[in-house]
């Protein structure tokens, strides 16, 4: 059966939500992110982009490029509310939805042509989202996730683009190789040094050549360049919390060991958040004593996936909670109030050094496993 995949992306989502709340921001350059000079841009309006500003840019540079930009700290709770509104509308309309991020969804409409015109249904869904939420959204429609996502990018701002079956290569050919998902800051310079700028050139190359240069990822990129992507739309399920616990073989009162394990669990949970593209705003610490008495304490914090902020809160709670000088049998950490976050990292965090360090560590762990690199902790 011919596949029908739709990709939806809310345009400048954070900025669009802020403009719903404050109409005076419409038409003006807007920056959202860390307010200090060491912060980074989480999102920016199209007006700001005309000055060369982009997401993840240091805030100091962004303000130099666009001095008249309006800076907003951001409200992840508000963004999550509107994101959930969009998700609910989509889930009411179609059976298979993958929430790829806070502002991005994939929809599998395969087989729905028996009852509806899939393209017409997709258009109606987009119009309904705009009408009921007031948010601009763009849509791509094709036979797979890669082509649909690229089509969405070509449809922006607030448009829709359909790529018919068999037209994938022709649609992709004139586009920049930067449009292909998976070609990032490392792969792009390698391909440009080979004289490759358009997807057409990748299509004309042999897959084995790319494999020799880029390894197995070269074959993946070659397939995408040729409009081939068999990845499935993964149905959306949202966990309300994630947690880790550690039970000691022997009950202990060793404070160095206890704090080290607590911080290690916090670090692992923060990594899990970033890997899944989510943020938390509630941390809970759990202690079970040798007599099986169990005590917990929780605290709120701004939405984050920063292991520094989460670890600091975990240690603070542990120090408050552990008031009885008794042997401990079990300790645990739970993160709750989870939402889909700002592309795997809390870009509202003011310390760009922390962001860069987290990204570097995450890349190593994703490639070699979590234990490939372990943080040191000052106890």
- Reference 135, options 279, 303, 8; nearest CA is 8
> What is each CA distance from 297 to 33, 108, 234, 319, 344, in whole angstroms?
30, 42, 35, 11, 27
Backbone angles phi, psi at 102, to 5 degrees: -65, -25
Backbone angles phi, psi at 33, to 5 degrees: 155, -160
Separation of alpha carbons 161 and 186, rounded Å = 29
CA dihedral 115, 118, 122, 125 (to 10 degrees): 0
- Reference 34, options 358, 261, 354, 349; nearest CA is 349
Task: Output the CA torsion sign for 127, 131, 132, 137.
Answer: positive
For residue 304, the surrounding DSSP H or E stretch is strand 294-304
Separation of alpha carbons 15 and 49, rounded Å = 12
Separation of alpha carbons 41 and 21, rounded Å = 20
Catalytic: which of 18, 47, 98, 104?
A: 104
Catalytic residue list contains 104: yes
* Alpha helices (runs of H) in the chain, residue ranges in sequence order: 13-21, 46-49, 59-65, 76-93, 118-133, 145-155, 168-172, 187-193, 199-204, 207-214, 216-225, 255-276, 307-321, 352-368
**Cis status of the peptide bond prior to 269, with omega within 30 of 0:** no
Residues 340 and 102 sit within 8 Å (Cβ to Cβ): yes
Backbone angles phi, psi at 83, to 5 degrees: -60, -45
- Reference 147, options 342, 3, 343; nearest CA is 3
* Catalytic residue numbers, as ranges: 104
């Amino acid at each position: 059966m011919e596949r029908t995949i739709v990709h939806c992306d809310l345009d400048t989502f954070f900025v669009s939500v802020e403009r719903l709340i404050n109409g005076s921001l419409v038409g003006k350059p807007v920056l959202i992110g860390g307010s200090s000079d060491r912060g980074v841009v989480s999102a920016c309006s199209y007006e700001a982009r005309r000055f060369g500003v982009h997401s993840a840019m240091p805030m100091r540079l962004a303000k130099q490029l666009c001095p008249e930009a309006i800076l907003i700290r951001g409200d992840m709770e508000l963004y999550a509310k509107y994101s959930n509104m969009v998700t609910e509308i989509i889930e009411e309309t179609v059976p298979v939805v993958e929430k790829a991020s806070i502002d991005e969804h994939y929809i599998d409409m395969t087989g729905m042509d028996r009852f509806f015109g899939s393209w017409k249904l997709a258009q109606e869904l987009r119009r309904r989202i705009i009408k009921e939420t007031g948010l601009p959204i763009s849509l791509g429609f094709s036979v797979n996730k890669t082509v649909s996502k690229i089509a969405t990018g070509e449809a922006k701002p607030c448009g829709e683009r359909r790529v018919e079956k068999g037209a994938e290569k022709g649609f992709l050919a004139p586009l920049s190789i930067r449009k292909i998902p998976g070609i990032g800051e490392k792969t792009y310079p390698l391909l440009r040094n080979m004289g490759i700028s358009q997807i057409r050139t990748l299509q004309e190359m042999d897959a084995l050549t790319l494999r020799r240069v880029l390894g197995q990822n070269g074959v993946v990129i070659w397939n995408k360049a040729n409009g081939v992507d068999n990845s499935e739309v993964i149905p959306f399920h949202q966990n309300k919390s994630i947690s880790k616990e550690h039970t000691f073989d022997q009950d202990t009162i060793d404070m160095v060991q206890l704090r080290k394990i607590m911080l290690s669990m916090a670090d692992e949970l923060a990594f899990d958040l970033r890997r899944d593209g989510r943020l938390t705003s509630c941390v809970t610490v759990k202690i079970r004593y040798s007599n099986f008495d169990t005590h917990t304490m929780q605290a709120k914090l701004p939405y984050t996936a920063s292991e520094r902020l989460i670890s600091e809160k975990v240690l603070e709670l542990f120090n408050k909670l552990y008031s009885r000088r008794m042997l401990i049998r079990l300790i645990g950490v739970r993160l709750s109030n989870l939402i889909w976050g700002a592309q795997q990292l809390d870009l509202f965090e003011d310390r760009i050094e922390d962001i860069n360090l987290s990204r570097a560590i995450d890349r190593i762990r994703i490639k070699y496993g979590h234990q490939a690199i372990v943080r040191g902790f000052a106890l």
